[in-house]
Amino acid sequence: MTFVTAVDHPLVTHHLARLRDASTPPTEFRALVQRLAVLLAYEATKDLRLTEVEVQTPLTKTTGHVLQQRIGVVPILRAGLGMVNPVLDLIPDAEVWHLGLYRDEVTAQPVEYYSKLPSAGPVEVALVLDPMLATGGSAASALAALRRWGVPTLKLLSLIAAPEGIAALEAQFPEAQVFVCAIDERLNDQKFIVPGLGDAGDRSFNTVPNTAK
């Protein structure tokens, strides 16, 4: 099993270029996030199990196949919210469970402020949604919570990732799978992805400080 998959597709490359552009307005940024989330989800769900069913067409009966597993969509608040609807469009019966995490700007460590996971009955496959995988701290906290819940198959969908974040997750969660649109060069001294795309949450929800250059 490959730990990380960088989706190599012309549409991914095309949309990602515009997503990175600092001049892209929030409305377009949100639309680009959604388009890329669809392409990531397509790749990440290739191995979902199917079960056979009988289907009555307008002409005759035939055999079809439907998803067999319970699937959970787990956005990391708040930036992950922008990836939820396109994934639900593909998997309408998926369950949605929220995890609230933010990075402390001083320590660069994740801080959990919200968790909406039940104590029993874990889903079979969890698709964790977080646009950016930087240090891996928030993603690691989310995957750890899902592991404690008892989810057997863990998948993280991120638009861009830093090598440092990928290495950190692989060391802690070798059983997981990570799907990204691009693996960037590195983290800078402030633990931001370079070349990156800025703060995905701020750019999605139009909360970029007025002092930003």
CATH number for the domain spanning 121: value is 3.40.50.2020
Asked if residue 169 belongs to a domain, the reply is yes
Q: Assess if residue 41 is contained within a domain.
A: yes
**Total-model pTM:** 0.90
Question: 22 lies in a domain?
Answer: yes
- Determine the structural domain holding residue 187 and report its residue range: 4-47+69-203
pLDDT at 111: 75
How far does Cα 106 stand from its chain's mean position? Answer: 25
Q: Which of 186, 174, 173 has the alpha carbon at shortest distance from 140?
A: 173
63 as an active site residue: the answer is no
Calpha distance 44→135 (Å, rounded)? 22
Counting every residue written for the chain, the total comes to 213
Residue 107 among the catalytic residues? yes
Please indicate, yes or no, if residue 197 is contained in any of the structural domains: yes
3 state SS of 112? strand
* Residue 131 forms part of a structural domain: yes
Q: What is the pLDDT of residue 101?
A: 75
- What is the Cα 34 distance to its own chain's centre? 11
Spans of the chain, pLDDT less than 50? 211-213
Residue partners of 200: CB distance under 8 A and separation at least 6:
33, 79, 82, 131, 132, 159
Does residue 208 belong to any structural domain of this protein? no
Of 107, 148, 186, 207, which residue is the catalytic one? 107
Residue 21 lies in a domain: yes
What is the per-residue pLDDT for 120?
A: 81
Q: Active-site residue among 18, 70, 78, 199? A: 199
Asked about 21 being catalytic, the answer comes back as no
61 belongs to a structural domain: no
The question of whether 103 is a catalytic residue gets the answer yes
- Number of domains forming the structure of the chain: 1
